[in-house]
Each structure stands twice: as structure tokens, then as C-alpha cells.
Amino acid sequence: MDPLSDILSLLKPSGYGFRGLDAGGDWALVFGPGDGVRCYAIESGACWLALEGAEPVRLAAGDFVLVPGGRPYRLYSAPDAPPTDAFRFFPTVPAGETAVLNDGGGVQGVGGFFGFEGMHAELLLGMLPPLVHIRAEANKAALRGSIERLMREMREPQPGHTLIAEHIAQALLIEALRLHLAEHSHDSTGWLFALADRQLRAVIAAMHAEPGKKWTLAALARVAGMSRSSFAVRFKDKVGEPAMDYLTRWRMMVASDRLANQGMPIALVAPAVGYESESAFGAAFKRVMGYSPRQFAKATAG
């Protein structure tokens, strides 16, 4: 798999509870703090989204937004409209169907929540600003097509529509990350934005593909087609940490997934992520994860 797919696979995103919204008149939906990533696609009409402590952002037809992290926010048509608790309002209709507010007719769209079952959600959430706003003019055909398909699945449910809607929702998350990456890779730091750099993407892909290989800085530089010193500087500048530190962290993410979710014994996990001895692996694991492998495996068992 490619690096973004690798990381999303470890984070195990789950797109449950997607619902349509058809709101009319003056309305305001209030969202409390929460984990994961919420997202909204506006099909028609316009409204506003205001994160706590930030200026409101106008959302128009064709816009798509991701709201990572736990800050409260409001979605509304009028700032003085009586607030409705979103966590009470949306569950009044089944997942996959459309919730109607004030008889509808003003704004139509779809919203949902991505939870992460994996234990490293901060790896993605830490890369993103409090609000990712992808405007209609930058909204490429694949994203628009996914939004339209998702809305159609909700408006005209066919057998299996719930599962299809969840897969489309996950595709929306990836498309949105791609568009955000394309727009901000030149002025942002982190592994996500490094994927826009062809040479660094090749290096990260090589690390991910073979975490057990005895990588050296010189070997990684050869993958990039760069000198050792130039590669070391460029990787740290773009990713925000040295290449060998990134490799160690990735190895520990893979190891923690195999210990917690696959039930692999430490004796097999250690060589699979590049360590010849359990003691060396244990020291690295504790340094990165804060627990010894045995403590971690015990804490996550069951």
C-alpha cells in the first residue's frame, strides 16, 4: 500500500452515523466537543460554521469541510437562531437518512463522523488545522462525485446502501486529505505534506513497505536519489523529524498494532520491525510508546 493508506489502515477509520440535513428558515445546530473527525458536504444552499474562538466561515454549495479535534462549534443559517443540540437532533432519524429541520428547503447536505479505532489517531489529527475548508472551486470531480453518490444513496436507499454509504464516506475523507495536501504541501510540515514530494514519498513508502529492513540513512538517501547530507536536511525540514526517528516511530506503530490487534508474540514482532533482540526492541518500544511491550500487550488484551 501507499503511505497514506498504510497509516489510515492502522488508524482504522470508521464512517458511521452519516445523515443528510435539510434545514429551512433560521436555524442553528450546536456541537459539543468530541474525538475523531467530523465532516460536512453542502449540496445546495449556504450556511455558516463557527468554531469556538474563531471567526465564522461561510459554507456554500459544493463546499466540503473537515473538523478535526475536539473543539465545540455551531452550524447555522442565522447567528441569533435558537440553538438546537445536534447530538439530540440527528439521532431522531436513522443513520443514512435525512434529518429535516424547520420543514427544510433552505440548505441540503450531508454530515458524519469518522471515529478511529486504532490507537494513533493523533498522527493524523496533529497534521490538520482545526478546520479544513475545501471550497467548491477547488473541489475536484472525484470529491463532488462522491458527495453526489452519497446523497443519492441516502435519498434513494437500495439494498446494502448503509455499507456503500460508509465506503463512500471513507473515500471522501481520503479525497479531502488529498486536496488539502495539494493546496498546502508547499507551506506545511509533517509526514502528510511530505507525501507531495516525489522523492520523500518514495522513501516513506520504502520504510512502510519493509519496516524490518536494516535501513541506514545512506540507504534511505539512495532511495531518494540524493546525497546523504542533502537527504537528511530535506527530510527533517519537510517531515519535522529526522528520517531515522520517523522510521523508529513507524516501526513502533506497526509493532503496537501487531501486539494489540493481531496477538503476535514479542519474539515474532521484534524481528518483523527490524530488531535482532527482544531487549533492543523493548527499549525502543518503551521510549516511543511509554510502556514495555509486555505491559502494552497486557493492557490492550481483550
Q: Is 178 helix (H, G, I), strand (E, B) or coil?
A: helix
Q: Which residue in the block uniquely carries the three cell numbers 482504522?
A: 12
Q: Is 302 helix (H, G, I), strand (E, B) or coil?
A: coil
Percent helix, percent strand, percent coil in the chain, to nearest 5: 50, 20, 30
Give the amino acid at 227.
Answer: S
Bridge-partner residues for 19, per DSSP?
A: 111
Q: Is 73 helix (H, G, I), strand (E, B) or coil?
A: strand
Question: According to the model, what pLDDT value does residue 153 have?
Answer: 79
Question: According to the model, what pLDDT value does residue 273 have?
Answer: 97
Strand order in the sheet with 107-116: 98-101, 13-23, 107-116, 37-44, 64-68, 132-134
Question: According to the model, what pLDDT value does residue 302 have?
Answer: 56
Residue 200, H or E segment: helix 198-209
Strand 37-44 and strand 83-85: pairing?
A: unpaired
Name which CATH class applies to 3-185: mainly beta
Residue 239, H or E segment: helix 228-239
pLDDT average per 10 residues of sequence, the chain (302 residues): 83 74 97 86 94 94 86 95 94 86 94 77 78 77 74 80 79 84 85 92 96 97 98 96 96 92 90 95 94 88 64
CA 59, chain centre distance (Å): 21
Please report, to the nearest 10 degrees, the dihedral formed by the alpha carbons of residues 287, 288, 293, 297 taken in order. Answer: 140
Task: Supply φ then ψ for residue 253, to 5 degrees.
Answer: -65, -45
Question: According to the model, what pLDDT value does residue 16 have?
Answer: 64
Q: Where does CATH 1.10.10.60 sit in the chain? A: 197-300
Q: 107 in the Ramachandran plot: left (φ > 0), alpha (ψ -120 to 50) or beta?
A: beta
Architecture per CATH, domain 197-300, reads as: Orthogonal Bundle (1.10)
Question: According to the model, what pLDDT value does residue 145 have?
Answer: 77
Question: According to the model, what pLDDT value does residue 138 have?
Answer: 63
Are 10 and 52 a contacting pair, CB within 8 Å?
A: no
- Maximum separation of any 2 CA atoms in the chain, in Å: 66
Whether the model clears a pTM of 0.85, i.e. scores above it, the answer is no
Strand 98-101 and strand 13-23: pairing?
A: parallel
- Cβ neighbour number for residue 274 with a 10 Å cutoff: 20
Q: Where does CATH 2.60.120.10 sit in the chain? A: 3-185
Strand order in the sheet with 28-31: 57-60, 46-51, 73-76, 28-31, 83-85
* 234, three cell numbers: 530535506
